[in-house]
A and B are shown apart, each in its own frame.
Chain A
Amino acid sequence: MEARAIYELLAEKIGDGALGFTEGTGDPVADVAPASIVDACTFLRDDERCDFDMMMCLSGIDWDGYDENGKGKSVSILGYTDLGEPETTERASDGDFGVAYDLYSHRLKHKFTLRVRVTREVASVPTVSGVWETANWHEREAWDLLGIRFAGHPDLRRMLLDESWVGHPLRKDYQMPSEWDAVRLSGRDYAKNPFPPIAPPETPTPPAGDKPAEG
């Protein structure tokens, strides 16, 4: 079935929860309100016409800095100056978080993409791990790397990083800690470096005429 037709079925089911359907560059995507994502997913899984028995992928997204109207900006991962100080970006963290759900039906062989958007302050989406088991780990990963909480998740622990890690690295405003577990992370500690960086060339001596010559 075409994505638009699926969206119409879905909109019929969840009413106001369906926020819109976009087709353009990339995959067609249906925007859904966070509150109705579980209903939407359950419907898509159970309805005979949709029958999405598998969730291919769940991706958390930090939309901070993504400009819908113009050229987007990306943040460099090398956010450190030569002196080892973290480089702060001047952008206010007002971007939303998003979660994209890519679904597939093995029987009907069609795909569908759902997307929810929550504000940075809320950063919480209802879990769909009750709908597809695989969402369990994908959501844990999204929590780990992006700090999106999934309300009602049975076991929302960090997945790839250590429990003691501070922060969520895939956030656009993330600053890597300079030290973790007694390991220095922020690159170079010049005080201890046996090979200090080559000092910038000294200012050339001004011509003799500018200053009174000595003696």
Chain B
Amino acid sequence: MDALIALIQNAPGAANMSAQALHNTAAALMATLMFTVMALCAIVFTWMERKVAGFLQNRYGPMRTGRWHGWAQAVADMLKILGKEDIIPAEADKGLFVFAPILVLLGSLLAWAAIPWAPGFVAADLDLGLFYIFAVSSLVIIGILMAGWSSNNKWALYGAARGAAQMVSYEIPLALATIPVIMYTGSLNTQDIVIAQQGGLANWYIFRDPFLFVAFWMYFIASIAETNRGPFDMPETESELVAGYHTEYSGMRFAFFFLSEYANLFLVSLIAVMVFLGGWWAPLPLLDVIPPALTFIIKGVMMVFFNMWVRWTLPRVRVDQLMHLCWKVMIPIALICVLGSGIIQMVRG
């Protein structure tokens, strides 16, 4: 934000703006930018998902639209989905049905505010940044529950119930895994966390101590569950629950869920980069020529790719096994990580 404000100040004709006006302009710009990036990432990742799945499965994926490797396929799909009929089931709870996708999208959109893209370049430079991200992304659960309940469809209800149970549970290991990092940094501010990792690969939190390395993988697994993607796609489970909580949705409302899925995917990947993988810092001094924001995004996209790789390789776990994994395996391990990392920090002083 500060960087943005400085940028606006230097722009011609902005010299006389008051501090408040400057701040408002910067916020509006930032919000527009965020939403654009989010919509873009949904489009890019849809295409990327299909290409990655294709290459993992001995096929090409989309090849025609836009000539070069079907790059325009996702754009065409989005246009198609915009033109689709908006169906609200007759027996649905209309208010909740309409509001649910908006809430889901809102949850993922709000969390983006605290992502530090580059030094000084963060929409909301909050002291409780990380806490804020986890807090607002919980809104998604309410949206999913609302969608499943209001659809008046048994499969959707199943999906929503599974989804709520899963996401509430997996928030715990997700947040627990980041606690050692917060203890190292001594701050919840997202910029501070990244700045603390300056100085090459060895200073990234993932390599600071063995417990943090484990904590990273805990975070990674929990993040897959948190975004409802395979092998933990319980709310959707297309072979069991037809399409889960969004069975009854179509057209633009369905697109909102879709958008939110990919926005969430990129979000958790960026948080992983920010917390464990050095944020905007390049791994080698040689690569410092790359702009920090680009480094950050490249790392995020690599995490997304890794996520897709997992999704298209593994079968799906069962819902009780998923809960078992969370409560009996991951939470204890995450707690041990907190304890172990704390001891190491104490010893190191």
Asked if A and B touch directly (CB within 8 angstroms), the answer is: no
* Interface residue ranges, A against B (CB under 8 Å): none
* Interface residue ranges, B against A (CB under 8 Å): none
